[in-house]
């Protein structure tokens, strides 16, 4: 009888059939996490594979589908579950691990974050909005000194679905006891250009905040590699001027 080759045997039995020195978990324990490839790290999160597919092979499929770890971290759960074998607990484990990593990279919530200018606000927002597969709308509520009081995610979805209601933003600003507001959203398409609907939305929000003494500092659009600021472009001044002449 013809013997099964070692490579076929390893594939049929999964990672457990690999030489111990090649198994991701054993390599991590011996050499440290930094020695592992992206696929090996993801494989450890998955723990086991599925029939005829090892955890490492599953990890490679995931990375091939999304292109990078960063893209995996930004993918919605529904997209992760499109990968063969990545359902239920496995998808939840991976999504949770990616979210933990994302949150670790964010500024500590206990720090007093000052967002007095566009550069500071844009840098802060890029860490939260860049690379996401869907449009996210966030509002930053600040005190008179420009210190961040609350960072609120208000809407997620397609371009039409992600537009938050003005009254919701006003209510959240009052709850936070804010003096100033910075609006922000991302463009998953990559271009950080303000659309006509972005301008109309900003005008409406300015008009709603002004009568109750709240200042709209800026509306920042985050693209894949660039940022657009209503304040820096002069559009915020135009909106303010138009508001004083109404």
Q: Give the contacts of 52 (CB within 8 A, at least 6 positions apart).
A: 11, 12
**Are residues 125 and 178 both part of a single domain?**
yes
CATH number of the structural domain spanning residue 126: 3.40.140.10
Spatial distance between the Cα atoms of 54 and 169, rounded to a whole number of angstroms: 47
The pLDDT of residue 101 is 84
pLDDT of amino acid 4: 47
Structural tokens at position 73? 């971290």
Instruction: Please identify, among 52, 81, 104, the residue that sits at the C-terminal boundary of a domain.
Output: 104
Distances (CA, A) of 189 to 132, 133, 162, 221: 10, 9, 14, 12
Amino acid 157: pLDDT: 78
Give residue 19's pLDDT: 67
Note whether 87 and 143 are same-domain residues.
no
| Residue 112 located in a structural domain | no
Instruction: Write down which residue in 73, 104, 135 finishes a domain.
Output: 104
pLDDT at 213: 96
* Predicted pLDDT of residue 201: 94
Q: Domain check: are 160 and 86 in the same one?
A: no
Classify residue 1: in a domain, yes or no.
no
DSSP annotation of 191 reads: -
CA 8 to chain centre: 39
What's the domain count of the chain?
A: 2
Q: For tokens 């999160």, what's the residue?
A: 45
Among 104, 139, 158, the domain-final residue is 104
Separation in Å, CA 175 to CA 84, 110, 180: 44, 19, 13
Q: What is the pTM of this model?
A: 0.63
Q: Rounded distance, CA 185 to CA 155, Å?
A: 9
Give the integer Cα–Cα distance in Å for 170 and 25.
50
Residue 239: count other Cβ atoms within 10 Å of its Cβ.
19
Residues 128 and 230 in one domain: yes
Tell me, what DSSP letter sits at residue 18?
A: S
Domain containing 174 equals 118-245
The whole-number mean pLDDT for each consecutive block of 10 residues of the chain, a chain of 246 residues, reads 47 60 85 92 88 87 88 83 87 88 67 84 90 88 94 79 85 95 91 90 96 96 92 94 72
Q: In this structure, is residue 170 part of a structural domain?
A: yes
234 and 167 in a single domain? The answer is yes
């Amino acid at each position: 009888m013809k013997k099964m080759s070692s490579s076929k045997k390893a594939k049929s039995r999964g990672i457990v059939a690999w030489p111990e020195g090649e198994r991701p978990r054993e390599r991590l324990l011996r050499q440290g996490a930094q020695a592992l490839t992206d696929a090996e790290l993801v494989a450890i999160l998955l723990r086991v594979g599925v029939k005829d597919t090892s955890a490492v092979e599953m990890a490679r499929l995931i990375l091939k589908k999304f292109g990078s770890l960063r893209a995996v971290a930004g993918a919605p759960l529904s997209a992760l579950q499109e990968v063969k074998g990545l359902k239920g607990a496995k998808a939840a484990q991976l999504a949770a691990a990616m979210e933990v990593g994302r949150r670790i990279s964010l500024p500590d919530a206990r720090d007093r974050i000052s967002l007095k200018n566009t550069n500071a606000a844009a840098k802060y927002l890029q860490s939260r909005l860049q690379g996401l597969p869907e449009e996210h709308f966030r509002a930053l509520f600040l005190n008179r000194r420009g210190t961040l009081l609350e960072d609120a995610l208000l809407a997620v979805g397609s371009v039409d679905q992600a537009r938050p209601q003005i009254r919701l933003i006003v209510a959240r600003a009052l709850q936070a006891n804010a003096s100033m507001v910075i609006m922000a959203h991302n463009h998953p398409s990559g271009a950080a250009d303000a659309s006509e609907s972005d301008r109309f939305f900003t005008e409406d929000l300015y008009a709603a905040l002004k009568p109750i003494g709240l200042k709209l500092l800026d509306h920042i659009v985050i693209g894949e590699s660039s940022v657009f600021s209503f304040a820096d472009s002069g559009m915020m001044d135009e909106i303010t001027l138009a508001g004083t002449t109404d």
